[in-house]
Amino acid sequence: MKRRTFFKTTLPVVLPALVNGFSLRAWAHSPLLQATPRGAGEDRVLVLIQLSGGNDGLNTVIPLEYYPAYLKARPNIAIPEEKILPLEGCDGTGLNPAMPELQRLFAAGKLAILQGVSYPQPNFSHFRATDIWLTGADAGQILPTGWAGRYLNDAYPRWPQDYPNPSMPDPLAIQIGGIVSPALQGPTLTMGMAISNPNSFYNLLNDRPAGPFDSRAGEQLAFIREMAVKTDQYAGVIRKAAQKVTKQSDLYPAAGKNPLADQLKIVARLVAGGLKTRFYLVSMGGFDTHARQVETSDTTTGTHAKLLARLSEAVHAFQDDLQFLKVDDRVVGMTFSEFGRRIQSNASGGTDHGAAAPVFVFGSPVEGGIVGTNPVWPDKLTVNDNIAMQHDFRAVYGSLLEKWFLADASETTSVLLKDYPVLPLIRS
């Protein structure tokens, strides 16, 4: 098997310690990137926050104007009406009480809430639904490339041969944690690299090796090592950028208390350090809340509330940090999950896999407010009823490519393979 064929037809390979001994990870053949893109907006950054497991959108953004129907559908997990956080200027909609920081971000005009985000004929498998969101595929379509990978491949041609170079010495995309997301897979090679975890990032800054890597796997391992050498070229620029920042926001919790905040703190540091990296991906799991989603004694507490509290705290600290570091005008963030949950709660005090759910887009450049309307449903519900789609998730991607990265309409259509309406997410 030829080396390129091997990597195009196998799963991602983790490189735990191949970059001067540091825990930078690359996907099968990924160093990184780039040249000057064809359009403007090359100094702009998009941060993607993946909420793995399928977030219950109906207990995240709550339809206050239909509270009796909401309570009837979810008698064992409904948030008490008086505890729901009101949204300024939107009397009919509120947030879970675990998210006061996002409530304040909304009041400041720096948070957009998109209602009912999904796609036609949604899939309820975690693996398949995640793949659809990361690749931008239709429900019945398998795509070998990621939506962001296609954009990066078009915007930065002749990668990796011509990179790094003086015009673009930095990684095009960085994931904090794990291996590089399929969202960054290009037509031939992945377009991103990963820092395996926050600890490995600080090891990199302090020149502490992650440990030995001893194995024999013939030509394939040799190729991995060869590509790791190229990835090594980016370790220096990452270190240099990070070392420029010596003070960050005090709002971050102590290290290890909020893993999402730990990841976003690294992102803010690299952005402020001057990296031209376009995409950052971070994630948090635990949203597959089939049972005991809330505490029966107090539905404002429990597993889901803890997750939302961490998300709210992390995003707020990150936004505060971006402003403290004077780079908030360069960054827009977006949350997404592979699906929402059913309208009705189940007998186990949880929710089952569903369809549409809200998406948060945040940042100083964002057009704050609610895009869409509160979900409605019939009086006679069944366990199979779902929140209806109002916005295709690819319309969110396309709107950010067009209005944030300033891609032209033809480029957006090429990346997303279809035309989608442009949503009012970014201020003019």
Task: Give residue-wise pLDDT tens across range 237-272.
Answer: 999 999 999 999 999 999 999 999 999 999 999 999
Quick one: pLDDT band at residue 224, thresholds 50, 70, 90? Answer: low
Average pLDDT over the chain, rounded to whole?
A: 87
Return the pLDDT at 56. Answer: 98
Q: Hunting for tokens 């407010």 — which residue is that?
A: 369
pTM of the model: 0.89
Q: Which of 102-106, 186-190, 220-224 has the lowest mean pLDDT?
A: 220-224
Per-residue pLDDT tens over the stretch 169-184: 899 999 998 788 999 9
Instruction: Report, as an integer, the average pLDDT of 355-366.
Output: 98
Query: What's CA 39's distance to the chain center, in Å?
Result: 24
